Structure 1
Amino acid sequence: MIGDRNSVVDEPAARLARLRLLAQVGRHPSAILLLAQLVALLAYPFFEGTPAGNAAFGVLGVVVLLLALRMVNRTSGHTRVLVAAVLAVAAVASNLLATLGGMTWLAPWSAAIDALFYFHAAACLVAYMLADRRATRDELFCAGATFTLLAWAFAYTFAACQALQPGCLAAAVNPDAPRTWTELLFFSFVLLSSTGIGDIIPLTSQARALASLEIFVGVMYLALVVSRLIGLSLLARSESKA
């Protein structure tokens, strides 16, 4: 009887704890987007190149698209949300036609649409972070989520470039083979963080121009957006102590 009574008492407490957790998660949608991007980043290498993996890749891509679309809807005006929705629908439709419909000629254009969506979502999140004069916890998560969105956007840009210019990217391993999505994403993160090119080298003028552009975007993002959030955080801390 005592055990049953304790379980009855603990059930509302557990329910309240779950509601509080959901409320905390709801206050930080940027953290959900960032977590989804990082989970996808770690999961892709384990199922890339298999039929089941391609299906899972598509599902993860749609989930990330929906989360990014939700963030755009939360932080931007109606026009930006409409543009993001149109690009998201076009990206999903073109991916389905290119993979399941056998229309392989759509592959570079599908990658280009994906890149446009991620660039648009990243621009909306940057505007959201720059519009405020104080750095909230969600904006700190948003800084990480925006960085991953930019990395995804440039990875899709390189995928489109590779589809239009086979052999534009070489690597230490299988230099003549097309670069896989995992390699393209790694290459994009390396360039965006300005840590160096690594073992993947752009060979054509167009690929080198894209690589240079990503390095520039990465440096400017760290210099303008991240440094501003850090400065606002330090300013708020000093004001709270005064």
Structure 2
Amino acid sequence: MDRLRRKVAELPCALLLFVQLGALLAYPFIETRRGDVQEVGRAIFGLIGLVVLFLAVRAVRATPALTWVAAGLGGPVVVLTIAEAIWTNNTTLTFWSSVLHALFYVYTGYGLLRYMFADNWVTRDELYATGATFTVVAWGFAYLYLAVQIAYPHSFTIYGESGEPGTRTWFELLYLSITTMTSTGLSDIYAVEPHARAFVLLQQIAGMLYVALVVARLVGLTIARFRQ
């Protein structure tokens, strides 16, 4: 147990990455629930979100970024997440919660980038931070899309959907976010309103720059390390 605690303390970005990857597998079971079980699913959804928030703040503490900024954003997000679980149909509450979630995850991504660019030596945790930064930013854009959908209804549609575009779930928007970030183009969900398309374009540019600047730099430093 002591060895496990030391590993967790040494690799905060690895823990953040694995919890987020685990959440990807858990969300489908939560969203497909119906009736009374759905309320339990929402509670579990909120709990997973709070755990990810805690791990994100913990990961930022290991970076040169300001912890109090992350904590200052994380505190209101926790309150709004709990409020969302109580008042599930309050769109105003959901909108501001989504905006703060997006700001929090984007700032966490910024902190992880500073962590990876702080020196010219690649540690194991910095390699995990490469994946954690990607997932954190993808999470942030998913919440941003959720806010856009509330501000501009019918912003996103799904392939083959007839009539007026419906309301996409958060997990569907996360699916769109990750496929956009990876530039695979595999998503059957796409933006149809100008404001939504603008943010999708920003994420496409961010994904391209992430691979070109961050991943390429870490790969180059890792290869140089083994050649020494």
TM-score scaled to structure 1, two decimals? 0.87
Instruction: Give the alignment partner of residue 35 of structure 1, picking from 13, 18, 24.
Output: 18
Whichever structure has more helix as a proportion of its residues is 1
Cα offsets for 1:51-95 (capped at 9, x unmatched): 111000000000000000011112135xx2111111101111122
**Which of 1 and 2 has greater Rg?**
1
Q: CA deviation at 1:99?
A: 3.5
2:80 aligned residue: 94
1:222 aligned residue: 211
Distance 1:201 1:28 in 2: 36
- The 5 Å alignment of 1:116-195 reads 116-172=103-159, 174=161, 176-195=165-184
1:9 aligned residue: none
Cα offsets for 1:162-216 (capped at 9, x unmatched): 1111110000265632111211111000000111162111011100000000000
Q: Which amino acid aligns with 2:84?
A: A
Q: Which amino acid aligns with 1:105?
A: T
Residue segments in structure 2 that go unaligned for 5+ positions in a row: none
Cα offsets for 1:75-118 (capped at 9, x unmatched): 135xx211111110111112233341464322111101000000
Q: CA deviation at 1:19?
A: 2.3
Distance 2:8 2:95 in 1: 36
**Corresponding position: 1:59 with 2:47:** yes
Q: Which amino acid aligns with 2:56?
A: A
Distance 1:30 1:117 in 2: 16
Secondary structure of 1:170's match?
A: strand
The Cα RMSD (Å) is 1.5
Q: CA deviation at 1:120?
A: 0.3
Distance 1:197 1:91 in 2: 31
Distance 2:192 2:167 in 1: 13
The change in CA–CA distance for 1:93 and 1:21 in structure 2 (over 3 A counts) is: closer
Instruction: Give the alignment partner of residue 101 of structure 2, picking from 94, 101, 114.
Output: 114
Distance 2:94 2:2 in 1: 43
**Corresponding position: 1:208 with 2:197:** yes
Residue segments in structure 1 that go unaligned for 5+ positions in a row: 1-17
Aligned length: 220
Distance 1:127 1:227 in 2: 16
Secondary structure of 2:62's match?
A: helix
Conserved? CA contact 1:162–1:169, under 8 Å? yes
Instruction: Give the alignment partner of residue 61 of structure 2, picking from 45, 48, 73.
Output: 73
Distance 2:87 2:194 in 1: 32
Distance 2:195 2:159 in 1: 20
Q: Which moved more, 1:104-113 or 1:59-68?
A: 104-113
